[in-house]
Amino acid sequence: MTDLWRLSAADLAALIKSKQVSAKEAATSALARLGAVNPKINAVIDHRPEQVLRQAESIDAALSRGEDPGPLAGVPVTIKVNVDQAGFATTNGLKLQKDAIAKSNNPVVENLVKAGAVLLGRTNTPAVSYRWFTSNLVHGDTKNPRDPAITPGGSSGGAGSATAAGIGHIGHGTDIAGSVRYPAYACGIHGLRPTVGRIPAFNASLPERPIGPQISAVSGPLARTIKDVRLALAAMSARDVRDPWWMPVPLEGPPMPKRVALCVNPDGLNPVPEVQAAVRDAGQRLERAGWTVEEIKDTPPMQEAAILQTKLWLGDGYEAQLALAEKEGDPGALACLRGNRAKVFPFDFTELSRALTRRATLTREWLLFLEQHPVLLMPVSGELPFADQLDRKDEESFQRVWHAQLTQIAIPFFGVPALTVSTGLVGRLPVGVQLVSQRFREDLCLAAGEAIEAGGTPPMPIDPVG
């Protein structure tokens, strides 16, 4: 059997478990695909073929002993370079961290290994995972396989680019302001930002994170089918005591009405016509699948939440973050910090207390809204995927980018799950929609996502466009 790299994770795992193909054959196919297309897109910045094959051989050996290696048996997956993987540097796109070799796996990585996944390679991210574009001074630029002139997204741009191009069947990403959802959108695949506390995470190689990232940053999967997103979520979310925020909540909640609130212009986003059309088209797909869709004029506040989220993310320890970026000399990281200085600095204890207090009020308003509307359908971004490096062009472009990403920045402030579903192409530019639901109700996002996916998606995986 050829082109195993083209298969979904679910289909490949089934073939390997039934011994119709071996995990080593799947790994060999994945490595060949990586070698063929990665030079064009620079999505994977570190991989060790011998180690990949040894992992696959261990899966085959377990199967030969009659053991169940797990739901991801032999499935090649990629890991973002900002989380610990034993024996590899957790660079987070920084020259300054090129020697930060992890001694143990981050819980999300360990969970993937326990589920039987084969760790194929490390994917690129912008410096400090700050941006919706993926370039840095240690690993270079990552290109979008659908069109090198547009961003692959960020900060999990390597994961999005790799998964879209068929390098691995599932990509691990992280999301504090859209870093899973936007690469999925820009690369024309799907990506889930789970509820805070769903997927455990911890980097032993790096200092503990401040409270803002602790209560809003998550790991999540990117994949080419919603079924694979669902499979990856189950594997990634197993218990790990190292994460004090992890919660033992079932992946499936109680039945809820198949009811969706559709909002094309949340809190003054003012999306371009193509984005509005994609949201309405997704609503029609849901209606055809038996969902009740109610169009609403607006959502609870997002603009204020986005500002406060930016403060908690960049303002807490701003001077130290700026000093790090200046020492690194990364132009993208410096543009992000300097461009947001007026929003986030100074940020003292009083500001921190006010932000956290206001978070309770705004989150309550959102949870009450989601109690009445089990699923919210809205844009991922106010625009189609940006020209690559647009945020570094000039001040006007920088502000344009940040405004367009309103929904991505605001949602993490509330800790709720959100799913990007890719729905089509506008020329060569991918477009998609975002689904949001109540805390720990990823299952509702995925159910709605499957109904939307059934109406059509861009071709995937794809050969990179030159």
For 59-84, write each residue's pLDDT tens digit.
999 999 999 999 999 999 999 999 99
Quote the percentage of the chain above a pLDDT of 90.
99
Mean pLDDT of the 447-466 span: 96
Q: How far apart are CA 374 and CA 18, in angstroms?
A: 38
Quote the percentage of the chain above a pLDDT of 70.
100
pLDDT > 70? residue 399: yes
Q: How far apart are CA 166 and CA 395, in angstroms?
A: 36
Res 466: pLDDT = 77
pLDDT > 60? residue 450: yes
Q: pLDDT of 343-362, one tens digit each?
A: 999 999 999 999 999 999 99
What value does the mean pLDDT of the chain take?
A: 97
Res 59: pLDDT = 98
DSSP code at position 101? B
Please identify every residue annotated as catalytic: 80, 155, 179
Res 344: pLDDT = 93
pLDDT > 60? residue 430: yes
Q: Does domain 4-453 have CATH number 3.90.1300.10?
A: yes
Res 180: pLDDT = 98
Query: CA separation (Å) from 383 to 185, 270, 387, 405?
Result: 11, 9, 11, 8
Res 261: pLDDT = 98
Mean pLDDT of the 454-463 span: 98
> 116 near 72, Cβ under 8 Å?
yes
Instruction: Say how many CA atoms lie within 13 Å of 347 toward its Cβ.
Output: 26
> Which residue bears the tokens 């409270």?
211
Mean pLDDT of the 153-169 span: 98
> 251 near 212, Cβ under 8 Å?
no
Reading the block at residue 122, the tokens are 């490390």
Nearest to 135 by CA among 126, 144, 143: 126
> 173 near 410, Cβ under 8 Å?
no
**Domains in the chain: boundaries:** 4-453
Nearest to 238 by CA among 117, 118, 119, 114: 114
Kindly report the pTM of this predicted structure.
0.98
pLDDT > 70? residue 1: no
Q: How many CB atoms lie within 10 A of CB 349?
A: 7
Res 359: pLDDT = 98
pLDDT band at 24 (very low <50, low <70, confident <90, very high): very high
Counting every residue written for the chain, the total comes to 466
Res 83: pLDDT = 98
Mean pLDDT of the 286-306 span: 98
pLDDT band at 406 (very low <50, low <70, confident <90, very high): very high
Mean pLDDT of the 6-11 span: 98
> 34 near 78, Cβ under 8 Å?
no
C-alpha radius of gyration, the chain, whole number: 20
Q: How far apart are CA 146 and CA 151, in angstroms?
A: 10
Mean pLDDT of the 306-313 span: 97
Angle of the 226-236 helix axis to the 107-114 helix axis, nearest 10: 110
Q: How far apart are CA 85 and CA 403, in angstroms?
A: 34
pLDDT band at 213 (very low <50, low <70, confident <90, very high): very high
Q: How far apart are CA 363 and CA 381, in angstroms?
A: 21
Mean pLDDT of the 376-391 span: 98
